[in-house]
Amino acid sequence: MPASVRIVDIRERTVDISRYSDRSLPSGGLTTSIVALATDAVRRGRPVVGFGFSSVGRFGQGGLIRERFAPRLISAGEVDPVAAWAAMMKGEKPGGHGERCVAVGTLDMALWDAAAKIADLPLHALLRQRFGDRGNPAAVCIYASGGYPHPENDPVRLKEELRRFRDSGYQRAKIKIGGVPLSRDLDRIAVAAEIFSAPHSLAVDAMNGYEPAAAIAAAHAFRPLQLMWLEDVCDPLDFETQSAVTAVYEGPIASGEALFSVAEAKLLDRHGGLRRDRDILLFDPVHCYGLPGYLDIIETMETRGWKRSAFWPHGGHLFSLHVASALSLGGTEVNPSSFQPFGGLADGAVLSAGCASPTDLPGIGFEGIEALDHLFRRL
Determine the average pLDDT of the residues in 233-248. 97
Residues 294, 327 contacting (CB under 8 angstroms): no
Q: What is the pLDDT of residue 205?
A: 98
Residue 137 scores a pLDDT above 70: no
Determine the average pLDDT of the residues in 281-304. 98
Cα separation, 153 vs 204, whole angstroms: 20
Question: Matching CATH topology for 7-120 and 130-368?
Answer: no
At 144, is the secondary structure helix, strand, or coil?
Answer: strand
Q: What is the pLDDT of residue 284?
A: 98
Residue 123 scores a pLDDT above 70: yes
- The contacts of residue 199 (CB under 8 Å, 6+ apart) are 226
Residue 286 scores a pLDDT above 80: yes
Which sequence spans correspond to the domains of the chain? 7-120, 130-368
Residue 135 scores a pLDDT above 90: no
Using alpha carbons only, give the angle 48, 52, 55 rounded to the nearest 5 degrees.
165
Determine the average pLDDT of the residues in 146-175. 95
Taking residue 276's Cβ as centre, other Cβ atoms within 10 Å add up to 13
Cα separation, 280 vs 35, whole angstroms: 30
Cα separation, 322 vs 360, whole angstroms: 10
Determine the average pLDDT of the residues in 314-326. 97
Q: What is the pLDDT of residue 136?
A: 66
Closest to 49 measured CA to CA, from 36, 66, 65, 31: 36
At 231, is the secondary structure helix, strand, or coil?
Answer: strand
Percent of the chain with pLDDT over 90: 90
Residue 31 scores a pLDDT above 70: yes
Closest to 44 measured CA to CA, from 135, 118, 124, 131: 118
Query: Which pTM value belongs to this model?
Result: 0.96
Over the range 9-36, which residues count as b (16 or more CB within 10 Å of their CB) and which as e? ebbbbbeebbbbbeeeeebeeeebbbbb
Q: What is the pLDDT of residue 29?
A: 86
CATH of domain 130-368: 3.20.20.120
Determine the average pLDDT of the residues in 10-21. 92
Strands 31-43 and 7-16: antiparallel
Task: Considering the domain delimited by 7-120, tell me its CATH architecture.
Answer: 2-Layer Sandwich (3.30)
Cα separation, 306 vs 301, whole angstroms: 5
Active site positions, annotated:
176, 314
Cα separation, 316 vs 335, whole angstroms: 5
List phi, psi (to 5°) of 261. Answer: -145, 165
Closest to 368 measured CA to CA, from 333, 351, 344: 344
43 membership: H or E segment, kind and range? strand 31-43
Closest to 378 measured CA to CA, from 30, 35, 20: 35
Cα separation, 344 vs 321, whole angstroms: 10
How far, CA to CA in Å, does 114 sit from each of 27, 54, 79, 117?
31, 16, 8, 5
* pLDDT band with cut points at 50, 70 and 90 for residue 160: very high
Determine the average pLDDT of the residues in 97-103. 92
